[in-house]
Amino acid sequence: MNSMYENIQLLIVDDELDFLDTITERMELRGFVVTKAPNGEAALEAVKTKKYDIAILDLKMPGLDGKKVLEILKREHTNIEVVILTADGSSDVAEETSKLGAFCVITKPIDIEKLISVIILAYESRLKKDSGFLKQDFEIVS
């Protein structure tokens, strides 16, 4: 069953270290390959060295906050899907982040099964984008 998720490269960004450690361990238990980032700066550092499929991003963080990170990620790594984690489940957060290109918003406390299903959906979307990108390339070539 591990093989199912091995291909998905996950980046989890959260300043709550207790949460970050535990969720990473749980995702790894389920076969994901996870990179932890305790803040926005670390996340941006991480995407420079490795290609990630999905970033799970906390909104409220000291330093670069989630929105800023989302903006930069979407600008510089167009194909990465970003799942927003927030403790504030108000609708304007969802609206704002989706405008910035977030895949979806999950409210804390999170349900791991729900998170995984969202990740899978996001991954599928990411794959589609990849093929779309190729198609686009192809069209340009032809």
Q: Which of 57, 2, 63 is nearest to 27 (CA)?
A: 2
* Pick 15 or 53: Cβ nearer other proteins: 15
Give the interface with other proteins as residue ranges (CB under 8 A): 15-16, 18-19, 22-23, 25-26, 29-30, 60-63, 65, 68, 86-90, 92, 107-112
* Pick 87 or 134: Cβ nearer other proteins: 87
Q: Which of 4, 134, 36 is nearest to 79 (CA)?
A: 134
Residue 9 CA to residue 67 CA, distance in Å, equals: 21
* Pick 61 or 83: Cβ nearer other proteins: 61
Residue 125 CA to residue 107 CA, distance in Å, equals: 21
**Least distance to other proteins, CB of residue 97, Å:** 14
Q: Please say whether the beta carbons of 12 and 34 come within 8 A.
A: yes
**Least distance to other proteins, CB of residue 128, Å:** 30
